[in-house]
Structure 1
Amino acid sequence: MKLIRFGEPGREEPGVLLDDGRRIDASGQFHDYDEGFFAFGGMDALESWVADGCPDGEEIPPTARIGPPIDRPSKIVCVGKNYLDHAKEFGEEIPSEPVLFMKANSAWSGPFDDVTRPPGSKKLDYEVELAVVIGKTASRVSELDALDHVAGYSVFCDYSERTYQKEMGGQWTKGKSCDGFGPMGPALTPASQIPDPQGLRLWCKVNGVIRQNGWTGDMMNGVAFLVSYISRFMSLLPGDVIATGTPGGVGMGMKPPRYLTPGDSVICGIEGLGEMRQRVVEG
């Protein structure tokens, strides 16, 4: 069982992707996959409903848009330079502690939605990442207990406009937060199905050609450490998302750089979690 949502942007309904490939509407039983759902035992209730055969659940129409698998989170916390090869391809200093920045939650979008290149943008880039969804409030938790606070995992693409990020002063947020720059999906895989989040292959293809090909085990700071570390500085609420960094192979790191242009197709995938695809369109 995996969690999915379907419907028009901003009006998505909750559903489940069953092991046999069927997609079942869960909106008759659950309001949404939001902070309240995770905080008040929604995952256990959903698993029980699925185990009972999804009573009263109907199949989702095959033409339905698939949205992000959880409701828009209160915050998206991103980790920069968390893979050594990515840090090196930028030619910058290797961080001694995790580099944290925020992506505006208004960037939230679905796994198959178009990504719009902002007006005047010339340096649109891609970053495939493992997304961690928090299942219960984490505040100053130990690394030993950190994974107990994780609801599940998904595929995330941290789209970036490098001019805004690198050449316009200040912090990175302005280059990370354009509308549509935070697609996640196609589903949320419960943490119980991923015994080792550091044992997953992740990749990104642009126009069918592999650009990124890495392993989550290559993170300089693993998931348990990141949940514990971030919770020292802010409370992580149920439904919050941590984007854990990207391996080498981004457009900015190529020689010469190769940025995305309208018409390009970007596929991001993680072993066991699925793939999502965006088409680049002009803003």
Structure 2
Amino acid sequence: MVIATRESRLALWQAEHVKALLEARLGWQVALLGMTTLGDQILDRSLSKVGGKGLFVKELETALLDGRADIAVHSLKDVPMDLPEGFALACVLEREDPRDALVSNDFSSLAELPSGAVVGTSSLRRLVLLKSLRPDLRIEPLRGNLDTRLRKLDEGHYQAIVLAAAGLKRLGLSSRIRQAFEPEQMLPAAGQGALGIEVRADRRDLLAALAPLAHQPTWLAVTAERTVSRAMGGSCSMPLAAFIRAPQSAQMRLEAAWGEPGADGQGVAGQPLVRADHSASVTNFAEAEALGERVAASLRAGGAVWAANS
């Protein structure tokens, strides 16, 4: 069994995690195929301008297609809402901490940052949410893998940066987290903190074999979240947050928030976010998708429109 993976330290940790599960639970012999994706190579432009987060998975899918690899492990928030024809999501693993985290060498919270402080992120979602909390901050682009982003902070390019808590925890870097944003403050991205395993759709053997690794509550929750993104335009780079908290029962509450970055890329101070939430009983994928569609419809009714290509 060969796993296609990006070669960043975090991606390799994720692939090694799945490798250990496959060897321990299924008794497979597993090897890794490390690859550099286009998303890893283009670091001078924001993802929303060069094709979105799907740039992180295309090369891995090519390896599946030509038989060099059997499965690919992805951070689910990097996976496009609709997979290309011929590919399928075999399973979603149990979610790690889905929150965003503030990392700073000088300040212990967002509230402590001085007016005009430079905060690094290239996520449109984080930009609009940060500006809604602190319109006086200066948000600057921050690309690269997790270690590169931390190095740029340590070199003094930023006074703080915002990263996914899951990645920091997976790499044993929890001590770098100065503040973990609760969903009330900063709603996470669809699928944030969850890992997905992708295969060729015709590999029925793998779809069946990998099924026991799935964490169904997580899979249903991220399906609802990702459906909001699909219904709003399908881009992983939209200024959209969508999140279900603690999906331990059939009754799930899906919350979403939408903002608009300003022409200068800094957001519009005081511009209200469009928010929506609905609850429903979710026991299967069809019900999860229906919940996501309802929340997306409420966002659109509130004025949320994706105009990335206008």
- TM-score, normalisation: structure 2: 0.28
Q: Which has the larger radius of gyration?
A: 2
* Structure ranking higher in strand proportion: 1
Higher relative contact order (CA 8 A, sep 6+): 1
- TM-score, normalisation: structure 1: 0.30
* Structure ranking higher in helix proportion: 2
